[in-house]
Structure 1
Amino acid sequence: MNAHVGTAPDLIEQPHAQSAEEGLLGAILHNADVLDKVRGIVDAIDFHVDVNAAIYAKMCERRDAGETIDGRLVRIAIGDADLGGITVGEYLAALYAHATSITSAPDYARAIRHAAMMRKVLATAQDAVKAMSAAAVDNPAKYASAMIQELDEVASSGMPDSIKRVSLGAASLQAIEAAMAAREGRIERGAPYGIPSLDRMTLGMRPGQMIVMAGRPGMGKTTFGVAIALNAAKAGHGVYFVSLEMVAQELAERALAAAAFSPRDRQPLSYRDIAKGKDLKDEDFWALNEAQKRLNRYPLEIEQQPGLTISQIAARARQTRSVMERKGQHLSVIVIDHLGLIQATKRYSGNRVQEITEITGAIKVLAKELGVAVVVLSQLSRESEKREDKRPVLSDLRDSGSIEQDADMVIGLYREAYYLEHKTKLTEEECARLEASENVLEVEILKQRQGPTGRARLFCAINCNAISELTEY
């Protein structure tokens, strides 16, 4: 079988993934839908073996024409090519035998693409060696410039579309196409918060955004983080929840309480009731089992290891995205609970401002690289406690101004009932305010890079992790 001829000497073996080529072609023969999953990853020119490249090109041609992809097509594509002493029938049988699964096909396609890019790097290096060996001593800048241009294509090919260089014309066309798709209901502009008033104000949690949700202790940061994660997952968006404070079972207790919650129940199950367990009735377990069946369908993964660095979180997020893709899911949202518990590197050891600056900068890069919304829960400073009106403001963000600078959106959380409940003596007026605010969570958009600021008053059963529109109750 003949391989593409490169510029490197024959003594250097060309990087290739021949078994992956055969496995991918075999998978397409078994199920033509595989081709739709891999066409954005690999092209015919990426195949190392000429005959495999011809087969793949013919498959794409047939697929575009709406025609059948079968063994007869492979025979046509092979033609009179040299198969190294085996017959066309034997080669076809080998493709069927080596076929990979539908879920593994994208990984095989990436292996083929990576081998092609490695061949390009090798060829670029060999061309540079030949050119410089044949030339008299000259300005090396022109050789370096040519290499940089060639190698940049390789480096860029590994980037996700969300961070690739693009012309203004192409970007504006993408914006129009996305707007048209959103109008026709084919796509959502972002993963929904699941709260209509908040979704209208923000257009949801959009790809590439760093969203900070901040509040003092007791304001419901984790409650809100779990609630929006559940809402996004319920809508079919993949969610990766990084819990640096709670173990997965504690988060699951909150999720079960939220999923089983009904405003019609006089005494709805709280997550504390679920954790305690001994007072639960048979009907409570029935409700919890039904809730668990619904939660089991949600594309939501929980990371519960404490003390992770942002680099470790990023690596595990990439792994989670790959796992979700193999299941036919799409990672849209990462929730980190919370910013203060992300382990800093030793680079700025002892300088908390610089540590937070490094972390928030890396979070923003992660959001753009993966094309997801990263929601970071954050503690506010004690400054709000000194004011009569304790509602959060941007200057209350703790440790570093980089949080406000790097965030595309900052949302402040406030529960008046929390402060009134912790007051020793209440006036009649304060008692009335406590009754009116008992199940109210104020969500205020303090900063939105591409939208308005504003406030929404939501219903919040804090002990059941249930949040929704206030008008619903």
Structure 2
Amino acid sequence: MNLPALAPADEPEFDAAPHNLEAEQAFLGALLYDNEMYHRVADWLKAAHFYDPVHGRIYQATADRISRGALADAIVLKTDFERDGGLQEIGGAAYLAVLLESAADSVAAVEYATLVYDLALRRELIRVSAELSKDAVDSPPETHARMLIEQAERRLFELAESGGGSRGFVSFKDALAESVEMAAAAFEREGGLSGISSGMKAMDHKLGGLHSSDLIIIAGRPSMGKTALATNIAFDVARNYQYEVQPDGTKKTVSGGVVGFFSLEMSAEQLATRLIADYTGIPGFMIRRGEIDAAQYEEIRDAVLEIQGLPLYIDDTGGLPIGALTARARRLKRLHGLDLIVVDYLQLCGASAGKQSQGRVQEITEITQALKALAKELSVPVIALSQLSRQVEQREDKKPQLSDLRESGSIEQDADVVMFVYREAYYKEREKPKEDTPEYLAWEEEFRLIERQAEVIIGKQRHGPIGTVKLAFDGARTKFSDLDPVGRYEDSAR
């Protein structure tokens, strides 16, 4: 984790700050004896976590050598520090010998590293608590208390999470390493995805999966299936969740993910009914009306028992302000982990406290910017649904385009991916002629061909091509899926 700059050990107010110099010495001594120890703690232990700046410098020098594949023991470190004039700063060569004498065994060394990390978090928690208390007392009267709470949530999240949102500059070397890691993950993962699978191979092929830090807009006119598509994706991600436990006790997602679903339009019960219909194949309207037989009831009950433990968390608070939404997302990640956020839908979000008086275009701008910032801060993809303007209905060609986005300027600008859901059958059904006429027979044949088809039109994608993905759609189950044969899709450059 990258902490903000810690107060120097010699500052009076930090003289009694939680620390354990013996634990730092014991771990560093073990590290100099056995460089393999570094790989067990490198993901979470950083130089800034050491209370003694000397120890932090020794750890950083050791880490730099090991990262290059070089040996890092007392002899070579002595040579390195002599070369840059820093030997006296760390106490001379004799101090390296003291560290070796204090070395713990390999099992205890990891425990000492964990203690060093924990004490660093406690010191920073003391600092953050003091600053939050000062802000609460000294903030001007016009500052809403809820805004202070949201700021507190953000700062506590950054403290609790590895690689918090405010990590400052990243060296080009580190950025390249992250890029190579992403490429390696895509190479090794089945299907060659660098992001989370959407559950539909045709869409994954076009997008490369759902990428961390991306804001993905799914837009469409009412009844096109925006919520259905987002729900299908969220359910599939949660169903495929697998993780590995790291040495520090945290969970690392290896497949699928934990999903936070902000349902600002539908209730949690309505959303759950859709998911049951998706899982069982029993039409949702039959479940809602109770038009099911005993066998179907047993099937629903068994399905509930099978899927009730999925890591899918639903917040159905209506008109949720964007500040509260981001605070709840941070809290969810801190408590349960988080790999995907879905917001249904964008125009139902409220502005932050104190900003409701601004125009709707400015409010939407604030919301989209906040969602993009949240995606980067939590390093997860954020899927936000959006309505389209009515001008679509006034055109002969009803296929949507970027200019059809309501309050489109900020949505189009801030989004990494913009996808439109389009079902030709929706409009064709409204052209239905009278039965027992030649026109009806022709219409019926044409409608049957397109009734179970849908298109996802990718109108913008920062990291790849635009085009169209053709999917199957089951209206009774509100279910999108790959066409048969699985994976068949169609591109069309626009």
Matched-pair contact (CA < 8 Å) for 1:41–1:113 = no
Matched-pair contact (CA < 8 Å) for 1:233–1:300 = yes
Q: Distance in 2 between matches of 1:360 and 1:121?
A: 28
Q: Distance in 2 between matches of 1:38 and 1:320?
A: 25
The one of 245, 254, 267 equivalent to 2:265 is: 245
The one of 283, 288, 302 equivalent to 2:295 is: 283
Q: Deviations over 1:171-224 (max 9, x none)?
A: 123212321232123995111111111100000110000000000001011111
Q: Does 1:448 align with 2:453?
A: no
The one of 214, 223, 234 equivalent to 1:229 is: 234
Matched-pair contact (CA < 8 Å) for 2:342–2:382 = yes
Q: Deviations over 1:418-451 (max 9, x none)?
A: 1222335363443322211111111110111111
**Which residue of structure 2 aligns with residue 176 of structure 1?**
180
Q: Structure 1 unaligned runs (5+)? A: 26-34, 61-76, 82-94, 100-104, 123-153, 262-268, 326-330
The one of 318, 342, 361 equivalent to 1:335 is: 342
Shift in Å, 1:15: 3.0
Shift in Å, 1:115: 3.3
Shift in Å, 1:39: 5.9
Q: Structure 2 unaligned runs (5+)? A: 1-6, 28-37, 64-98, 130-157, 242-256, 487-494
Matched-pair contact (CA < 8 Å) for 1:192–1:235 = no
**Which residue of structure 1 aligns with residue 77 of structure 2?**
none
Distance 1:109 1:387, change over 3 A: farther
Q: TM-score, normalised by structure 1?
A: 0.69
The alignment partner of 1:211 has SS state of strand
The alignment partner of 1:292 has SS state of helix
Q: Does 1:437 align with 2:450?
A: yes
Q: How does 1:257-406 map to 2 (within 5 A)?
A: 257-261=277-281, 269-277=282-290, 279-325=291-337, 331-345=338-352, 346-347=354-355, 349-406=357-414
Shift in Å, 1:296: 2.5
Q: Deviations over 1:323-358 (max 9, x none)?
A: 224xxxxx2210000001001234262511111111
Distance 1:14 1:462, change over 3 A: farther
What is the count of residue pairs matched by the alignment? 374
The alignment partner of 1:205 has SS state of coil
Please report the RMSD computed on the Cα atoms of aligned residues, expressed in angstroms: 4.1
Distance 1:217 1:14, change over 3 A: same
Matched-pair contact (CA < 8 Å) for 1:41–1:109 = no
The one of 177, 199, 205 equivalent to 2:204 is: 199
Distance 1:291 1:244, change over 3 A: same
Q: Distance in 2 between matches of 1:180 and 1:160?
A: 24
Q: Distance in 1 between matches of 2:312 and 2:416?
A: 24
**Which residue of structure 1 aligns with residue 49 of structure 2?**
46
Shift in Å, 1:289: 2.5
- Over the matched positions of the two proteins, sequence identity in percent amounts to 36
Distance 1:386 1:121, change over 3 A: closer
The residue type paired with residue 325 of structure 2 is I
The alignment partner of 1:463 has SS state of coil
Q: Distance in 1 between matches of 2:307 and 2:288?
A: 18
Matched-pair contact (CA < 8 Å) for 1:392–1:414 = yes
Q: Distance in 1 between matches of 2:39 and 2:225?
A: 44
Distance 1:337 1:202, change over 3 A: same
Q: Distance in 2 between matches of 1:250 and 1:163?
A: 40
Matched-pair contact (CA < 8 Å) for 2:265–2:344 = yes
Q: TM-score, normalised by structure 2?
A: 0.66
Shift in Å, 1:7: 1.4
Distance 1:384 1:291, change over 3 A: same
Q: Distance in 2 between matches of 1:227 and 1:163?
A: 34
Matched-pair contact (CA < 8 Å) for 2:264–2:343 = yes
**Which residue of structure 1 aligns with residue 477 of structure 2?**
464
Distance 1:256 1:36, change over 3 A: farther
Q: Distance in 1 between matches of 2:52 and 2:166?
A: 31
Q: Distance in 2 between matches of 1:293 and 1:38?
A: 39
**Which residue of structure 2 aligns with residue 28 of structure 1?**
none
| More moved, 187-196 vs 216-225 | 187-196
Distance 1:119 1:425, change over 3 A: closer
Shift in Å, 1:368: 0.5
